[in-house]
Structure 1
Amino acid sequence: MKLLKRLGLGVVVLSAILLVALMAWDPLTVSSSPPPPVRDYEARIVRDEFGVPHIFGKTDADVAYGVAYAHAEDDFDTLQEVSAMARGRMATLNGASSAPIDYVRALLDIDGIVKRKYDALPDDVKAVLDGYATGLNAYAEDHPDEVALSGLFPVNGRDIAAGFVLRSPFFFGLNGPIQALVENRDPPREGGPVLQGLPKEKSIHPLSEDKLITPVGPNPDENGSNAFAISPERTPDDKTRLISNAHQPLRGNVAWYELVVHSEEGWDFAGANFPGSPFPFLGHNKYLGWTNTVNRPDLIDIYKLTLNQTRNQYQFDGEWKPLEKKRVWLKIKYGPFVIPYPQMVYRSIHGPVIMNDKGAFAIRYAGMDQLDMLTQYFRINKATNFEEWQAAMAGQGVPATNFVYADAKGNIGLFYNAMFPDRAPGFDWRGVLPGDQSAAVWQQTLPFTRVPALINPASGYVMNANNTPYTAAGPGDELEPANYSPLMGIEEDETNRSLRSIVLFEEAIKNGGKIGEAEIRRIKYDTAYERAGYAEDWFDKIAALDLENDPKLAEAQALLAKWDWNLDGEGAADALALMVLRPANKAHYQRGKIPDPQQILQETVDHLTEYFGAIDPPMKDVLRLRQGDVDLPLDGGNDTIRASTLWDVEDDGRLSVRHGDSFIMFVEWARDGAVTSRSIQPFGAATTRPDSPHYTDQMQLFVDHKLKTVYFDPAELEKHKTSDKVVGN
């Protein structure tokens, strides 16, 4: 009895000690980043009537300081999340749902990449990163009540770089193979011809989704953007036009934030960035501009390793190599506690390794051990002509994404930018590769001169809508696929948006030869589907269903048969078509199995009937743009040029859009070089500040297809400013 009591008491005491330890674990063990080097910063933040920050500084680093401070004023919550992600503390901030992000960060060896590569960055780039980090630290110090996680600040330039290198590969789909391998599934592949025989998915209807790996960039099924550039010869007013229409989540760590910067060192730019970036990713300066769309070449290779019996070595060129192994601790918040959870991460000469029931698989991907995207983005921000811009692009830091370019001289172009692996022939690069042969492990990427590019085509326009680069400028002006090696894994996919864009551009040229303001607005806000491709196949499958014994579904089938193929919100079948089309588009985009059309039709009919009492409610009653107390109707769909891509199903059954048309910018250069631009965002400049007048002030304009003026000229800004302050340390 005494022994039992002693053991029982010991358990109680041990539990109490453990409880205290768990409560104190994170604050006591987290290692804060050293602050950036001490220097003085001063930036002026001027806001226009829509709250868009215009940041002025003597140096580029001063401007970066102001960018961080201004962004924190509008959305410090998201900036904290990005900082936690860069530091491997997402699960400490948000709980178990974010633990996969911290695991992936460790798996990809983000700390090691930054340690190896950061010091080699140019001094001016490091100065900008440190300035931005210091601005974040200053805001956190000025507003300690808003800091959600102890020890998160200060951050430094290395932390900012870590956020870039972690998020970058997810834009070309790295989360796909990682998740598949973790789940013991065959990895999906991007690029190249469409593959057959992919594993059947469970229901992909928009009413039921779950994902293991929470992405730090866009999901493969969420990617989408439109980009257009038009030469002055094709416009009635001799203006070069650039239309930026990147589709991103409307909130979160890859949502667009609009800003304008002016540095006395020559950094003048209007555009948008993501939280955690000191510089815009798209937009324009005085001389030139560009926008991006996600592309999906095959930039990821998977290798099956041959392990020894103890699983601590792998075979490579007839020798046994040690498998690197490291224990990492994911610190996960559970209620008031932070619990350390151990995980092993592995690495081979190929790259990160995932162990599963089928063996050990190594992953090699474009840009996996470099930070050059930081230099490239900063250099193209400051380029003053096409030659400088192309020279910066040739640095090949950004591993993947299309660039659509335009400038004041009238040049336009599409660049299918990617760091293509220099693969050796003789291997099935579309499958799982042998991990025991060095010949299968590429060591470098192809030069920028090999990147598919279409410059100044005779058609007078270029476009991309997440489609193959072989469709970009209309019949007779396209790139020739035979000129590019199949080892590059260039995608051959089309989207409805690409098909519609070409049709609409060609119609405009046929009708008048010129593409002016009215034509380009008509194209940008188009809500129609082409009767072609996956959409046509999908509706053929629905039409072929035998629904004689199900009158309700037969009624829906008949309604869809009369649909006008336009999601403008005016037709009786629009809500029904909107919802049944999304699963088909997702399967097409992911190259997955087509879902059961009867199941999707049934789920959609059930939903509309339950919440709206009919299968034909007005689509704009169903599809909504919601923020705070503002609730507005939307048009467009999952793969229309006017994009309402993804939505949350809310308690009232309505679809609250969370992804699609986000930051939109129209840029024009006159023949004399004068640049003007207009823009719009779905909500406003302060997306997480309900008390701000800029929480919802752009919503009505966005819904009405209207744009606001960008006051790129500081003299013009002075007439419209609503606040003006200086920040510094």
Structure 2
Amino acid sequence: MAPVLESITSSVSSQVFRVHRQQRCVSIGAVHQTIRRKTMRHATLLPVLALSLVLTACSDSSDNSMTDNGGNPGPPVEPPLEPAGFSAEIRRTEYGIPHIKAEDWGSLGYGYGYAYSQDNFCVTMHEIALAGGRWAELTGEDIDRDLLWRFINGSRDEFKADYFDSLPQRDRDLVTGFAAGMNRYLDETGVDGLPEGENGCRGEPWVYAFDELDLMMYLRKIALQASTDQGIVRDAILAVQGPPEMQVVSVDQLGVRAGLAGDLSAVGQTIRPSEVGSNAIALGADATQSGAGMLLGNPHQPWNGSGRWYEAHLTIPGEYDAAGASLQGLPWIGIGFTRDVAWTHTVDYATRFTLYEVTLNPDNPMQYDYDGEWRDIETRTVAAEELQDDGSLVTVERTFYSTHYGLVLDLAGINPAIGGWPTFAGTLVTLRDANLDTGLRSLRQWVEKSQASNVEEYREALRHIGNPVFHEFAADRHGGMFYGQISAVPRVTQAQLDDCQTGIMAIVASVSTNAFIGLDGSRSACEWGEDPDAPAGTNVYGLDAHPQILGRGAVGNSNNSYWLSDATMPLEGFPVVFGWMGHEGNQQFLRTRITHNMIADRLAGSDGIGDAPLFSLDDMKTVMYLNRVYAAEIVLDDVLAICEDRLADLSNPLDPATREALSETCSVLASWDRKVDVDSRGAQVFTEFWGGIRDTYGSAFQNVVVSDEFWAVDFTATDPLNTPRGIDTGVAANRELVIEKLLAARQRLGDANVALDAPWGEVQFLERNGEPVPIHGGSGQMGVFGAISVDLDEGGYRNPRAGNSYIQVVTWDGSDCPIADTILTHSQSVQPTSEHYSDQTRLYAEKGWVRFPFCEEAIQAAQIGETLLLEQE
């Protein structure tokens, strides 16, 4: 080692070990300054500089002293009278959870943005490039989506004036800091030093320094996922080509209207909750053994991409102190807990947008009728750059068309009868979206929820209607609990629905069971109304108009509507816009049914978990991991009886091969424990069997098995949690169907080289660095509470795409600190080289939990690595 390098290395080492732990980063930053000055004279010191950058992640200005050219401390520099820039403390505890503390909102965002980027930078960078309308400019792909986002957001100046500047200063500071923190990481790492692989972005053209406007565009994009940015809607917007010559085609000539029901049913397959859903249980004092509130949060989010969760703890002393998880790139805690309150969400299938059918002027296809007068359809042309194969850029323009309701759609991609300009009826379909501005209120609402000291204050924070798509659940240390279907819902009354769904829109609503609501756009009587309790200018329902429960009992939801969230006291009398999926009086998901049955059994103490009734913390964790398969509980006995009868039927004997196959399949099912634990054998057979039944009788939009003949006991609204059930074995078609689906299940498993009786953990797994990690849980569509979404592939159900994700059970005892047991099923980091790439996944495989450290003593005890003081002036 060169003498000067050896001298500096020794100097670094001695200074590091002399400083106090909490000053480590600042002190190393001072050494970094010394090294950087010396590198001007000694090129051999570059490796040390690189090492210093990796270790410190601190700015050059993190020290209040100057050094001379020899590296000796110079005279101290007086600090500015008013602190400038960002300053945040970052500590990590077990499993890589960052705890960020700062004195202001900008600094809190700065620390969080940097800590998050260390694990998952590329995930959010990808989404920012998409939301900013620059994807085609950087990659040459998807120019139409860029043009749509350019239309939605306007120019950067327009977006800043109309959207970003409308945020409260606190929110702007937090977003600005988070963007700066992410850019700090990018600047230190460099594009060529970023992670590689499927979730990496090393050297990618879509990586660039961005600002708070870019980040806010991404946050707005998230708020529109269930409406304007939903695939079906986005495709319909981009299908619009403008008005051709006005030609009204008769229904008879078109000859396609009869197929509309089938085409809409196919659309239902893409929007029903198979990928994104959730379970939640909130308990008050009357439902817990301790008398404190308790909450289970079990969102079923994607395991890849922007829908993943990321755990963190964010603190501004005396102002904000929240822990839990946020979606990728969101600078606030989305689902989590504080000293006094815990909260979670489930995906809510209420109405987010309505379609409007307007009648076109037969003499001018750019005009539509409104209350007997012609209104002009507005146009706006936007431009974006598209990268060519030779590296040049060309400007592409697109014109978008709007009525006063919103963007014009062309639904011909669903069915020609409801598409075109005009449709066969001489009309046009246009869209009004309740979530276009929800993002302006989201951050404010989530921050204020986190500042609540009880469920009453939590409820008040919801007055912002900043929630784009979720049911709300909360519990507090005082024994209170809250449920509310409180999200952005257009203020359309049931009377309006009854009166205004006419023409094509009436057909669409009927076939889709109100998943798509369309109104008569020619009458002002069909406009969204005003609610004095709603945020100004929103035309959505205000807080007090939404279904909600504030009390001390038990509530739960698994993505059906609000109706049975308290199964003992149904919420009724609300218009269908508050929840079309399992609306009042309609059949419920199997997952909804098992949720409420498990709650009732635990409250009664009849579930075998423990002798005492009501819930303890351990009881709730046990319920979470029961892994019962409710569909099997209500049909498997009948399936086995049908199988036994078929094998014994000598009047119509099976050929030897079929007999052997059926006998083995049914034998495996008979021995199966009717669970999806890692050691359950035979779950794969029932999974494929039930999938076959759903293929035959599944409802496209309601996500349930519907048949007048299949069920032994049909659905009744007077017993919605126990009906339908059983198979009507007296119907010959049912017996034939069961045998057919059993043999088909065996065939599918055989084709995938999956043994019928292999342990479930060997069949369903997540691959991490070439090793399979067993994953318990199973398909929510067969009534598994702990839902996992994954398709059968060669060798099994490999690499789930969604399901159990960030799970938390939170309660309180007599201490000042909340008790929170959590698990992040997919683990914290997307980087295969990280030690936190699969650590929690392996813990989940063992049905383990992480005690999330919240109070200072617990954080110190669980801390890994050194404290980082991150500063930027």
When the two structures are superposed, what TM-score results if normalisation uses the length of structure 2?
0.69
The correspondence for 2:551, drawn from 439, 444, 456, is 456
User: Is the alpha carbon distance of 1:158 and 1:394 closer, same or farther for their aligned partners in structure 2, counting shifts above 3 Å?
Assistant: same
Answer yes or no: is the 8 Å Cα contact 1:306–1:315 preserved in 2: yes
Cα distance in 1 for partners of 2:482, 2:238 equals: 41
Q: Can you list the C-alpha shifts for 1:74-96, whole angstroms capped at 9, x where unaligned? A: 01110211211221234556664
State the secondary structure of the residue aligned to 2:323: strand
User: Is the alpha carbon distance of 1:556 and 1:589 closer, same or farther for their aligned partners in structure 2, counting shifts above 3 Å?
Assistant: farther
Point out the more displaced range, 112-121 or 693-702.
Answer: 112-121
* CA positional deviation for 1:619: 2.7
Partner of 1:682: 825
Q: Can you list the C-alpha shifts for 1:86-108, whole angstroms capped at 9, x where unaligned? A: 21234556664x66653553464
User: Is the alpha carbon distance of 1:179 and 1:42 closer, same or farther for their aligned partners in structure 2, counting shifts above 3 Å?
Assistant: closer
Q: Can you list the C-alpha shifts for 1:353-375, whole angstroms capped at 9, x where unaligned? A: 22344333211122223411122
Cα distance in 1 for partners of 2:318, 2:594 equals: 42
Q: Can you list the C-alpha shifts for 1:599-641, whole angstroms capped at 9, x where unaligned? A: 9767643331123264443332221122223312222211155
Cα distance in 2 for partners of 1:358, 1:583 equals: 36
Cα distance in 2 for partners of 1:657, 1:685 equals: 16
Partner of 1:567: 676
**Structure 1 counterpart of 2:432, one-letter code:** R
Point out the more displaced range, 167-176 or 491-500.
Answer: 167-176
State the secondary structure of the residue aligned to 2:752: helix
User: Is the alpha carbon distance of 1:334 and 1:588 closer, same or farther for their aligned partners in structure 2, counting shifts above 3 Å?
Assistant: farther
Point out the more displaced range, 56-65 or 559-568.
Answer: 559-568
* CA positional deviation for 1:433: 2.4
Cα distance in 1 for partners of 2:637, 2:370 equals: 47
Q: Can you list the C-alpha shifts for 1:27-64, whole angstroms capped at 9, x where unaligned? A: xxxxxxxxxxx950011111113111111111122111
The correspondence for 1:631, drawn from 763, 767, 772, is 772
Unaligned runs of 5+ in 2: 1-82, 195-201, 241-259, 413-418, 422-427, 510-516, 530-538, 606-611, 647-651, 707-736
Answer yes or no: is the 8 Å Cα contact 1:663–1:682 preserved in 2: yes
Partner of 1:591: 702
Q: Can you list the C-alpha shifts for 1:662-695, whole angstroms capped at 9, x where unaligned? A: 11112111245531212111232222x2221111
Answer yes or no: is the 8 Å Cα contact 2:486–2:547 preserved in 1: yes
The equivalences for 1:400-411 within 5 A come to 400-411=469-480
Answer yes or no: is the 8 Å Cα contact 1:534–1:585 preserved in 2: no
The equivalences for 1:553-702 within 5 A come to 554=662, 558=666, 562=670, 565-582=674-691, 587-588=698-699, 590-591=701-702, 604-612=745-753, 614-639=755-780, 640-647=783-790, 652-687=795-830, 689-702=831-844
The correspondence for 1:162, drawn from 206, 214, 217, is 217
**Structure 2 counterpart of 1:291, one-letter code:** T
Partner of 2:5: none
Cα distance in 1 for partners of 2:458, 2:151 equals: 34
Partner of 1:305: 358
Answer yes or no: is the 8 Å Cα contact 1:45–1:727 preserved in 2: yes
**Structure 2 counterpart of 1:51, one-letter code:** G
Answer yes or no: is the 8 Å Cα contact 1:224–1:247 preserved in 2: yes
User: Is the alpha carbon distance of 1:124 and 1:236 closer, same or farther for their aligned partners in structure 2, counting shifts above 3 Å?
Assistant: same
* CA positional deviation for 1:644: 4.3
Cα distance in 1 for partners of 2:688, 2:137 equals: 37
The equivalences for 1:36-435 within 5 A come to 40-91=85-136, 96=141, 101-102=145-146, 104-106=148-150, 108-109=152-153, 115-145=161-191, 146=194, 148=203, 153-171=208-226, 175=230, 177-178=232-233, 181=236, 197-199=261-263, 220-264=273-317, 266-308=319-361, 311-329=365-383, 337=391, 342-355=397-410, 356=412, 357-359=419-421, 360-370=428-438, 371-424=440-493, 425=496, 426-428=499-501, 430=509, 431-435=517-521
State the secondary structure of the residue aligned to 1:394: helix
Equivalent residue pairs, number: 664
State the secondary structure of the residue aligned to 1:520: helix
Point out the more displaced range, 563-572 or 82-91.
Answer: 563-572
Q: Does 1:718 align with 2:860?
A: yes
Cα distance in 1 for partners of 2:407, 2:653 equals: 50
Partner of 1:15: none
* CA positional deviation for 1:291: 0.4
User: Is the alpha carbon distance of 1:725 and 1:473 closer, same or farther for their aligned partners in structure 2, counting shifts above 3 Å?
Assistant: same
User: Is the alpha carbon distance of 1:341 and 1:496 closer, same or farther for their aligned partners in structure 2, counting shifts above 3 Å?
Assistant: farther
**Structure 2 counterpart of 1:504, one-letter code:** M
What percent of counterpart residues are identical?
Answer: 21
Cα distance in 2 for partners of 1:369, 1:320 equals: 28
User: Is the alpha carbon distance of 1:89 and 1:671 closer, same or farther for their aligned partners in structure 2, counting shifts above 3 Å?
Assistant: same
State the secondary structure of the residue aligned to 1:50: helix
Q: Can you list the C-alpha shifts for 1:236-274, whole angstroms capped at 9, x where unaligned? A: 334322111111011211100000011135111101111
Question: What is the Cα-based RMSD across aligned positions, in Å?
Answer: 3.8
User: Is the alpha carbon distance of 1:522 and 1:489 closer, same or farther for their aligned partners in structure 2, counting shifts above 3 Å?
Assistant: closer
Q: Can you list the C-alpha shifts for 1:175-227, whole angstroms capped at 9, x where unaligned? A: 26416746999xxxxxxxxxx945376799xxxx9x8xxxxxx9743121111
User: Is the alpha carbon distance of 1:625 and 1:334 closer, same or farther for their aligned partners in structure 2, counting shifts above 3 Å?
Assistant: farther
Answer yes or no: is the 8 Å Cα contact 1:411–1:456 preserved in 2: yes
Answer yes or no: is the 8 Å Cα contact 1:68–1:133 preserved in 2: yes
**Structure 2 counterpart of 1:711, one-letter code:** P
The correspondence for 1:509, drawn from 603, 625, 649, is 603
Q: Can you list the C-alpha shifts for 1:384-424, whole angstroms capped at 9, x where unaligned? A: 33343222111112133111101121111111112222225
Answer yes or no: is the 8 Å Cα contact 2:348–2:470 preserved in 1: yes
Partner of 1:3: none
